[in-house]
Amino acid sequence: YRPRVASALKFDDAHELIWVGDSKGFVSSYNGNDLSFYTGFQASSHKNPVLKFLNHSNSNGLLSLSSDALKFTNTGGNLVKNYDSFSDFKNMKSMTFINSKNQNQILIAGDLPSNSLLKFDINYQKVISRIPYNQKVSFLNSNNNLITIGKSNGELDIMDLNSKKNLIIKSLQCHSSTFADIDLKNNLLVTSGTSKRHSSTLIDPIINVYDLRMLKSLPPLSFQAGPSFLRLHHKLSNTIAISSPSGQVQFVDMFNQANFSMYQVSTGVYLNNMDLSTSGNYLAFCDNLNSLHLWSINPDHSSMCNHSVSLQYPTIPDFDYTTKQSFHIDDYSKPLSLVGMPYYKDILLSAWKSDLIFPAKNSKIPKKIDNELLIKSKKVDGIIYSNYDKSKYGRRNLYQKYQSVDKNKKSGLSIPKFISQKTIKPNNRHNVHDFIDENNESLKNLNINSDNNSDSDYDDDEISIKQKIFQLEPSKEYPNKIPRAFQKLEILYSKFGINDFNFEFYNKSKKYSGLETHIENSYMNSLLQVYRFIPELFNFLVENLREDFLNLELDVKNNRTYSSDHISSILIEFGFLLDMMVKAKGKHCRPTNFQIIMSSNPQAFALGLLNFSENLKMKNIDENEPTEEYLKNIVQSFNRFFLDRLSYDEQKQKEFINKSNLKLNENINLETVVQISACKFSKQKYEIIYTLDVFSSTAGIVQRYGEMGSFFSNSINKRYNNIPQTILSYIESSMNRVSATRGWCDKCHKYQTMETTRVVRNLPKVLSLNLNFTKDEWGQIRHFNISNKQRPESLDESNSSLGSISNTSTKNRKNYNNEVVKYELMGYVAEIAGNSEESSHLVSFVKIYDENKEPCADDADTQKPYKWYLFNDFLIMPIPEEEVFNITYWWKTPLILIYQSNKASNEFKSNFDTRLNDEVLYRDFFAQGTREGKIIEYELLTDGEAPNPGSLVAIDAEFVLLEREEVELRSDGTRSLIKPQKQSLARVSVLRGDNGPKQGVPFIDDYIIIRSTIADYLTSFSGIEPGDLDPATSKRSLVYLEVAYRKLWLLLQLGCVFIGHGLTNDFRIINIQVPKEQVRDTIELYFKPDQKRKLSLKFLSYFVLKQDVQLGNHDSIEDALTALKLYKKYLELKAIGEFENTLDNIYHEGQRLRFKPPE
């Protein structure tokens, strides 16, 4: 018996496949990162080992070679051609394409009976010629010009097949014994081999390197572990991957050997194969225990080949499994697949790996056992037992009704329809229309009315989905399952992109805006939503936008520019975000500019607040910190940083503007007293904090320092023994905390027991609390809520864990003079537990006062009417107050509470009562330098050209690509958009639009500094060249994003009307919300819905203006000017009643020209 071992290994050039041939002549293929078995077939009828593979990319096939057989199969393993009948095909060892481009002819070598090399045509199935060669050959390689022949004695011949005589132009003595491996890419050849030493054969520790263009050797590489396998990198021309039999792997720069990376493969005894994928992103190894190892740096965002083609799978026949059908087992006219199997989502037991090692993609390291269970557990005979918590985990041993996955899929009741799938209703002019966008940007300019969100706009299936999505309470059937309204949401993409996703479907408020999730660090959304509805904070931030603080680091009069370490103001950017959310009027928002400013802050980076998605992936495989703890820690850290940064930016503004009526000044005064009774030492200090961390009553007491620590712990436990452990009681204890620690005394110069008292002396109008409770403490809080059967009608500390707190809870209030100041809960951020398929996430509960209603005049204590809302990213819905304060659910854990005092305002002020500082519109604000040496293509506004409500401005923006889109290719060949491409504003141009001598003259032409890595400048569409956005090399008018944004924001506030072509997408990426009454979009004006096509700017200019534009790279000034001319022409045609006829002619001529101007 001869066991099977892998004898050949090869990545497919066109599919996500790995081919493995074994010593019994059997070939198998494995698909994807999980190495799922795809197909298998017998390559050698005599069961001889498979020696080599060649990918036939032109035919999506595979050539497999054994000593006596050559077979050509397709990707599915079906035989295309069998070449076993040739008498010359004996003792074959290697093969290679003579020309890898046409792949019609191969060269075969080995110890052939004819003592020759065989030129074989695989299409005509015949030997074309025999090249005399009386040597035993082990390796053949080709670079389309030369053939390298590795002989069994360690010598290598270089043959030129393009010459008529097939001349050997060079012979090399590479190794004294045999070759171990040879690889050839372009003009670089590398070899490894063996030598005989003391009657044994050892691997040479040297790798030979040759330049075939010069036909000379290059400095060799050293690899002491023994280079058995060599692969030159397909994209990094200087890099080689080397592996030893023991599994040591190195990536080495051949021209700088000090630059290398080393890894170790966990093998059985030794490796017997290695290959590198054509994309350079994957390495595969086979070892002698028949294990296939797959390595990749970033498997979730990589592919094995450069242009992957979807695999074909057998078609599953339609079969009605609900009706019983039978047939005889010997009836060969019926396939056995008709027996059918139940639909399944998990890996079947029969598909488990033999060694029970699962890829990380399909499995996760088990989560740590709940600490709460361990604390209450008992150990009996070495086995740990713990009581089962029915309230948290549900009733045991319950049968769950089976629900077919296929049934759900066919019913389509899991998500709402895309906008493009909605049925057009004849009497509703706001319904979506199908169309083909000539610029292939699909639904980017689709005009969607968001004012009507009634159920009459949806069909019966969508109404059913809506009822499920907005479910707030657990069902009776599954009482421990998280209701749909609280579950994590995902944005889905159709072929038309994100504008086809029905965000309106998820918003029941009609006037409050949700935030998108497909941006980096979207965990911040929940906290930002709470602060957006704190009137005291909102009014300050929006009013702050009235002033121009760009001069903080730029003084034109003194010829000073931004410093190189320019840090943008988070306070200002958050104000812009709040103003955008108000103007959105219920339409979803995308806080990309806020995230850009956050990402540029070095302190946020140092605190680990950025790159949340990548860090979360790392935490998923880190058993030391569960995902839930990481999410809690990072959002609370962001809360501390955010409030601290707002205060820092405010102080910076105060230094700049001495006479400022703005005042945030939201801080907590904390007094700390340290006393040592042994030497009567006492020290007192005051500090300012912006967020109060709330711990349990005994937290912070160190009990390991003898009796003193135990005394404090016991005394506090007794103090709180008879008090219900609610959140309010924990808040009280956190405001006046005593702890005992061991520390160094400066007075007696030795370690002493210190008593530390921390007392909160002053509370701000807006109080932010981070809750830091253990699972046991949350258990006590939840238990109190369950046992408290009385429903809280009024929220105070006597009957609710959340609600009102009093400012008299701490003594000696200096600023309020012991006046009773109540703090009402305005909102909180809660963590919603995850499950086996997804991580936990955050939602927010917000109290919003009705701005249109006043409290009853008869009762001065009556509050203004309000409602509670749930914000789950872009899902927004009103929620009953009892649900807000119900924290008995195991899956809901409050993390951050935001209170506001009754001394603070409950009114939102979003209008600007005084004149805005619009100085930025009349001066240059370059990031570096002055106008000298710069290309200036605009003319600044003068005081006499100040914009007024209704002033026309033409606008166009250009963008660069930061991240490419992520696309999933399905087995049927269709593409599914997983994540859209990420673009950033690179240039914006604004032109004068009103009639006059300067009509069409630009007054803004800003190029934006981009701090992120640019994947593609999109030069042909944007006109942006490499170097244009680099302050060190650019001659353009470079500004920071906040400068360009403030200019556009001011034009919006001043009531200007924006003219452009395709402005929906421009405004989305600029991150600004412009009301419809201030937009004149020519792509909408020149559009006939019944024609289902929107017209490009280039075609409209050709037909309407008789001008050719966009002849080279796009230019934003030219595009904006063209849109302005089209709008003026539209007004002219409307005035004389000829517009409809003209539009008909445009479409008629467009169909004849295929909507493209003639060249």
Tens-place pLDDT, residues 432-442? 333 333 333 33
Percent of the chain with pLDDT strictly greater than 90: 27
| pLDDT confidence of residue 10 | 95
CB 590 within 8 A of CB 516: yes
- pLDDT for 429: 34
Beta carbons of 874 and 517 less than 8 angstroms apart: yes
Determine, yes or no, domain membership for 1090.
Answer: yes
Greatest mean pLDDT among 439-448, 685-694, 944-953: 944-953
986 within 8 A of 1007, measured Cβ to Cβ: yes
Low-confidence winner among 47-61, 449-463, 586-600, 846-860 (lowest mean pLDDT): 449-463
Q: Binning pLDDT at 50, 70 and 90, where does residue 392 land?
A: low
For the chain, the average pLDDT equals 79
Among candidate residues 744, 763, 782, the one where a domain is terminated: 763
Residue 529 has pLDDT above 90, yes or no: yes
Percent of the chain with pLDDT over 70: 76
Q: Judging by DSSP bridges, how do beta strands 248-253 and 256-264 pair with one another? A: antiparallel
DSSP bridge partners of 226:
none
Higher pLDDT, 572 or 448: 572
Query: From CA 627, how far away is CA 632, in angstroms rounded?
Result: 9
Of 499-508, 875-884, 956-965, give the lowest mean pLDDT range.
499-508
Q: How confident is the model at residue 446 (pLDDT cuts 50, 70, 90)?
A: very low
pLDDT for residue 544 is more than 70 = yes
pLDDT tens per residue across span 1141-1154: 999 999 888 888 88
Which one has a higher pLDDT value, 705 or 296? 296
- Under 8 Å between Cβ of 319 and 340: yes
Structural domains counted in the chain: 2
Question: At how many degrees (to 10) do helices 1041-1053 and 570-584 cross?
Answer: 40
Containing H/E element for 991? strand 982-992
Give the pLDDT of residue 542: 87
- Per-residue pLDDT band at 681 (split at 50, 70, 90): confident
572 lies in some domain: no
b/e sequence 746-768, b meaning 16+ C-beta within 10 Å: eeeeeebbbbbebbbbbbbbbbb
Listed residues 745, 763, 781: the one ending a domain: 763
Buried/exposed code over 799-822 (b: 16+ C-beta within 10 A; e: otherwise): ebbbbbbebebbeebeeeeeeebb
Residue 738 located in a structural domain = yes
Q: Average the pLDDT over 494-516 and give the result.
A: 81
pLDDT confidence of 381, banded at 50, 70, 90?
confident
Beta-strand relationship, 736-745 and 866-872: unpaired
Domain that holds residue 691: 668-763
Which long-range contacts (C-beta less than 8 Å, at least 24 apart) are formed by 1020-1023? 1020/1113, 1020/1114, 1021/958, 1021/1113, 1021/1114, 1022/958, 1022/959, 1022/960, 1022/986, 1022/987, 1022/1113, 1022/1114, 1023/958, 1023/987, 1023/1113, 1023/1114, 1023/1115, 1023/1116
Of 413-427, 503-517, 1048-1062, the range with the highest mean pLDDT is 1048-1062
User: In which band, very low, low, confident or very high, does the pLDDT at 787 lie, cut at 50, 70 and 90?
Assistant: very low
pLDDT for position 367: 63
Q: What is the pLDDT of residues 958-979, one digit of tens each?
A: 999 988 887 776 655 566 667 7
**Whether the predicted pLDDT of 862 surpasses 70:** no
* Domain contains 1057: yes
Beta strands 766-771 and 692-694: pairing type?
parallel
pTM higher than 0.85: no
Q: What is the pLDDT of residues 62-108, one digit of tens each?
A: 999 999 899 999 998 889 988 877 888 889 999 999 887 778 899 99
Mean pLDDT of 270-275: 92
pLDDT at res. 93? 94
Among the listed residues 892, 609, 636, the one whose alpha carbon sits nearest the alpha carbon of residue 769: 636
Buried b (16+ CB within 10 A) or exposed e, 239-266: bbbbbbbebbbbbbebeeeeeeeeeebe
Give me the helix-helix angle, 535-544 and 570-584, nearest 10°. Answer: 110
Q: What is the mean pLDDT of residues 460-480?
A: 72
The pLDDT of residue 992 is: 93
676 touches 743 (CB < 8 A): no
Last residue of a domain, one of 732, 763, 794: 763
What CATH number has the domain bearing residue 922? 3.30.420.10
DSSP 3-state of 139? strand
In a domain, 713, yes or no: yes
Query: How many of the other CB atoms lie within 10 Å of CB of 207?
Result: 21
Q: What is the mean pLDDT of residues 488-515?
A: 81
Residue 712 has pLDDT above 60, yes or no: no
Phi, psi of 542 (to 5 degrees): -75, -40
Inside any domain, residue 395: no
Asked whether the beta carbons of 894 and 887 are under 8 A apart, the reply is yes
Tell whether the torsion through CA atoms of 603, 607, 613 and 617 is positive or negative: positive
Over range 150-170, report the average pLDDT: 86
Q: Which helix (H) or strand (E) holds 137?
A: strand 137-142
Tokens of 729: 């009681």
3-state secondary structure 3-16: CCCEEEEEECCCCC
SS (H, E, C) 781-829: HHHHHHHCCCCCCCCCCCCCCCCCEEHHHCCCCCCCCCCCCEEEEEEEE
Is 130 within the bounds of a domain? no
Assess if residue 955 is contained within a domain.
yes
pLDDT bucket at 918, cuts 50 / 70 / 90? confident
Does residue 548 register a pLDDT over 90? no
Instruction: Determine the Cα–Cα distance for residues 242 and 238; give it in Å rounded to an integer.
Output: 13
Q: Among the residues of 260-419, which ranges form H helices?
A: 371-375, 390-393, 405-411
Quick: pLDDT tens for 405-418: 444 444 444 566 67
What pLDDT was estimated at residue 599?
85
